[in-house]
Amino acid sequence: MTDGAPVLPSAELRADFRLAAPYVGGAIVDVAETAPVTNPATGEEIGRVALASADIADQAVAAAAAAFPAWRDLPTAERHALVAAALDAAEQQADDIARTIALEVGKVLHEANGDIRGALAMTRGMLQLVADLEAEEDRSGHPGTGAAPLVRLRHVPVGPVAVIGPWNTPVFLTFNGIAPALAAGATLVVKPAVEAPLGLTATLRMIAEQLPPGVVNVVPGRGSVVGQRLAEHPDVRALSFTGGTETGRRIAAVAAANVKKVALELGGNDPAIVLGSAEITDALITELIAGSYAMTGQICFNVKRIYVHRDRYEEFVERFSRAAARIVVGDPLDPTAHIGPLTTRDGYENALRLLDAARADGAEVRELGTRADSADWERGLYVAPTVVLGLPADHELVLEEQFAPIIPIIPFDTDEEAVNEANRTEYGLASSVWSHDLAHAEAVARRIEAGNTFLNAHRLGASVPLVPFGGVKQSGLGRTHLKYSLEHVTDEHAIIGFTDPAAQLPGIARWQDVAAG
């Protein structure tokens, strides 16, 4: 919004997009406290977010619990028709939602479009999958089910599901939790991140308005208040969380007290290993540049450190640096910009601190990139695409997640050494191995501790819906995408029956006299 133009065409819609308010049981709830939502490219306030109380979170859970039985019991086709119409309603506003996301996150419009449109497409895919899986599994007469003539396995929705989302890809990643719940027949309470709540809250409001009251509830607010309450609430049966590892640990501890199902998508420190058998081609550099710097380095599975075989190191560093120098940094609405600013002031200050620490430790810090005219470097949270060379292998910038466009490049001599360094972290989200010898790449990939290891790729497109996505070690618990995320929001319900209660189950002989006596 650098030109002062309104975010949206109509005043009515603008009001919706500019205040992320709680929506509970089919109605907006007034709150006493709000906080500003700012455009990180300019520092301007673009909207406000409600800071709801724990009481409002309780009301939302109560609304979701009340709506659950009727929603669950609707025939699937009927329920899905309602959801599909709700998705269509949101799709009609997708351009405005994308623009809002671009402004609140600071990500370029192309990526903001993927955020909203990807979320809606994913939900449609989930409806299809649930319809396909609907048939109950009849195991009657199957060897291993014993003497029972009737054995039926059903997947039933767990009940109210809470979803706590992050600010970096606020709609798509939160929909990773929302889509399976909606499709499976669960009801929802969603807590958007306070830093970027506007696009997600508007989307969910449009969807909620098309569904029975209480099926979708939204409660914006602080993590320590609303998020915490949802984690500890005994009527929330499953919780999906996407965010930082520290917060994930806290949520898991709280949720354990009431035996809630918890899915955690947490931080990552993805290594990319360029093997000695790789040729340093334009395609390799392009893909690694995109994997490292897309979304200003704020994707959970961006490349966060690059290990290059010493035989290729010099050539790689020169070509990678040259390409990084051509990345255009600008306002998120500027069509020429590859990347925008960082989203949060904390993240910005942390990035500057890491650069100072690297310099103090004797590293070579190459601040690259090209500033677009639209980038207001004085007011925006801009950090140039940066390459850092000569860091010790155990430096904070190597072992911790930086969440900024600052990439350390480190040489190695043997595959063994590369694998050890890649695994020398508590994170294990994604990773990649690069070589023109696919067998060599796969052999190394098999030794990496991660949820996903990509070969000659490292970006969003590599994480396709048909394969499970998630982390090992401190990067998460559970998997998202299609059937993997359905497991989190459904329970197995087994119905096992005997025609004659005196059926021949082992051990019954000992009790036979009881009824007769």
- Applying CB under 6 A, the residues found at the interface with ligand NAD are 164-168, 173, 191, 193-194, 223-224, 227-228, 231, 242-244, 247, 250-251, 265-268, 300, 401, 403, 429, 471, 476
Question: Nearest 5 degrees, angle CA 511-CA 514-CA 516?
Answer: 120
C-alpha–C-alpha distance, residues 101 and 107, integer Å = 8
Contact call for residues 41 and 48 (beta carbons, < 8 A): no
Confirm whether 265 is a catalytic residue: yes
- Smallest separation, CB 451 to ligand NAD (Å): 9
Strands (E), 393-462: 406-412, 432-434, 454-455
| From 104, 111, 195, 300, the catalytic residue | 300
- Residue among 71 and 403 whose Cβ is closer to ligand NAD: 403
Nearer to ligand NAD, 435 or 452 (CB): 452
Q: Cβ 254 to ligand NAD, closest distance in Å? A: 7
- Specify the residue for token string 């955020």: 115
The single-letter code of the amino acid at 73 is: D
- Closer CB to ligand NAD, 167 or 175, in the complex: 167
Structure token digits, residue 390: 């000569």
> How far is residue 206's CA from residue 194's CA, in Å, rounded to a whole number?
19
Q: Please identify which of the residues 104, 265, 287, 401 carries the catalytic annotation.
A: 265
The smaller minimum CB distance to ligand NAD, of residues 47 and 165, is found at: 165
Closer to ligand NAD by CB, 245 or 374: give it. 245
Non-local CB neighbours of 164 within 8 Å, separated by 6+ positions: 190, 191, 223, 227, 230, 231, 239, 240, 241, 242, 243, 251
Q: How far is the CB of 98 from ligand NAD (least distance, A)?
A: 18
CB of 484: closest distance to ligand NAD in angstroms? Answer: 13
When the beta carbons of 228 and 432 are compared against ligand NAD, the nearer one is: 228
Q: Least distance to ligand NAD from the beta carbon of 186, Å?
A: 19
Q: Is 300 a catalytic residue?
A: yes
Closest CA to 299 of 167, 444, 180: 167
Which long-range CB contacts under 8 A does 121-124 form with residues at least 24 apart?
Answer: 122/172, 122/175, 122/176, 122/179, 122/465, 123/83, 123/87, 123/175, 123/178, 123/179, 123/182, 123/183, 124/84, 124/87
Q: What kind and span of H or E run contains 181?
A: helix 172-184
CA 189 to CA 195: how far, in whole Å? 18
388 sits in which H/E element: strand 386-389
Q: Which residues does the annotation mark as catalytic?
A: 265, 300
